[in-house]
């Protein structure tokens, strides 16, 4: 626990990363890329791009002319298999660990452990992945993802957020 690891390229992810390779143009940032492909830019979306591109060690520095993989994000993309706990879901990545509170009282996560994992995104900046589990089956985990997505709580799916 607490070790920094790349969940997106971890071989225990439940499925291969699909996406599009994009050549970086002058003036682009990862936020530009995120807005262009996902319609929004937030730490969760940016971290998915970073995780699919381990050569990027600083969120704020990308090289013009280099190709970057922009992963397609599906519900199954959030499933993480490990031996302990067996199956977890990636709820989001946030600039501070206090964001875990939005998931604490969710009925669908009752009885699940919430884990905060630090992820260095630049030399002076760390974000925090929030994971939940264990889930007994992939279907149970996917049902939880769908429920949280419908409530607009998963920042990986900004278009599904409910207007208040």
pLDDT digit string (tens) for the chain, length 164 residues? 333 344 444 434 445 568 999 999 999 999 999 999 999 999 999 999 999 999 999 999 999 999 999 999 999 999 998 766 589 999 999 999 988 999 999 999 999 999 999 999 999 999 999 999 999 999 999 999 999 999 999 999 987 554 43
Cα atoms in the Cβ-side hemisphere of radius 13 Å centred on 25: 4
Residues 141 and 105 in one domain: yes
Residues 81 and 33 in one domain: no
* Residue 85 in domain: yes
pTM of the predicted model as reported, rounded to 2 decimal places? 0.83
Residues 44 and 86 in one domain: no
Distances, alpha carbon 116 to alpha carbons 34, 60, 73, in Å: 23, 23, 21
Residues 42 and 90 in one domain: no
* Residue 25 in domain: yes
Helix/strand/coil for 15: coil
Q: What CATH number has the domain bearing residue 48?
A: 3.10.350.10
Structural domain count of the chain: 2
For residue 71, how many other CB atoms are within 10 A of its CB?
Answer: 19
> Domain range holding 87?
76-156
Is the torsion defined by CA of 63, 154, 75, 9 positive or negative? positive
């Amino acid at each position: 626990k607490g070790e920094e690891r790349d969940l997106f390229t971890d071989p225990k992810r439940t499925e291969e990363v699909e996406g599009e390779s994009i050549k970086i143009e002058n003036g682009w940032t990862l936020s530009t890329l995120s807005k262009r492909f996902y319609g929004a830019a937030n730490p969760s979306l940016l971290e998915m791009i970073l995780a699919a591109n381990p050569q990027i060690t600083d969120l704020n520095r990308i090289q013009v002319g280099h190709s970057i993989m922009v992963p397609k994000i599906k519900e199954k993309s959030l499933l993480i298999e490990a031996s302990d706990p067996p199956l977890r879901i990636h709820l989001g990545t946030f600039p501070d660990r206090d964001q875990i509170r939005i998931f604490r009282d969710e009925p669908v996560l009752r009885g699940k452990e919430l884990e905060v994992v630090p992820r260095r995104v630049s030399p002076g900046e760390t974000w925090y992945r929030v994971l939940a589990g264990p889930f007994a089956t992939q279907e149970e985990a996917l049902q939880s993802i769908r429920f949280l997505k419908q409530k607009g709580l998963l920042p990986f799916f900004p278009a599904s957020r409910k207007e208040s």
